[in-house]
Amino acid sequence: MQSLLRRVHLAGSHGSAAKLLSSAASEIAQSGAKRHICYFVFQILNKEAADKVLGEREIPDVQPGCILQMRLQVPENKRRESTLKGIVIARRNAGINTTFRLRRLVAGVGVDYSPNIKEIKVLDRKKVRRAKLYYLRDRMNALKK
């Protein structure tokens, strides 16, 4: 874009300004085409990675309002696994990098997790009318079922 501005400034009011603008526009279009091709290559790579992960293990459909039980590996001790139970309050869709936020109570204190997960089990599905349930941080009685 800066090269386009530089060429327009150099052209001034001469008749060749239109030629310089069209050549600069074609350069921008070519760089956009390269970006477009890279986008599709990354889409293909993400799809292949997602297919590979789905082939290795079953991943349930997790939506906001689901009550989950997760088995995860503790980072400090690689052999020990702990179990968490909580409600999904948010989900961010990004292909293979999709994440969700689980809310649970530990000794009366709320904890949000995003650890390495070994297994996910959907225990119950609540009907919700929102995509992000951040208001449940204040109302934790919904989890005490």
Residues 45, 25, single domain; the answer is yes
| DSSP characters over 4-19 | HHHHHHHHTTSTTHHH
* The predicted structure's pLDDT at residue 39: 84
126, part of any domain: yes
**Which residues span the domain enclosing 122?**
66-143
Distance from C-alpha of 62 to C-alpha of 77, rounded to nearest angstrom? 27
87, part of any domain: yes
Residues 74, 117, single domain; the answer is yes
Over range 49-58, report the average pLDDT: 79
Tell me the pLDDT of the chain averaged across its residues. Answer: 73
61, part of any domain: no
Of the candidates 87, 82, 65, 92, the one whose C-alpha atom is nearest the C-alpha of residue 118 is 82
Distance from C-alpha of 20 to C-alpha of 132, rounded to nearest angstrom? 50
Given a cut of 90, is residue 3 above it in pLDDT? no
CATH number of the domain where residue 85 is located: 2.30.30.790
Residue pLDDT, tens place only, 64-113: 999 988 887 777 777 788 888 888 899 888 777 778 888 876 655 555 55
Given a cut of 70, is residue 47 above it in pLDDT? yes
Per DSSP, helices labelled H in 15-122 are: 17-56
Residues 78, 115, single domain; the answer is yes
Residues 51, 71, single domain; the answer is no
Over range 112-121, report the average pLDDT: 70
As for how many domains the chain has, the answer is 2
Of the candidates 121, 70, 126, the one whose C-alpha atom is nearest the C-alpha of residue 136 is 126
pLDDT > 70: percent of the chain:
66
Residues 107, 139, single domain; the answer is yes
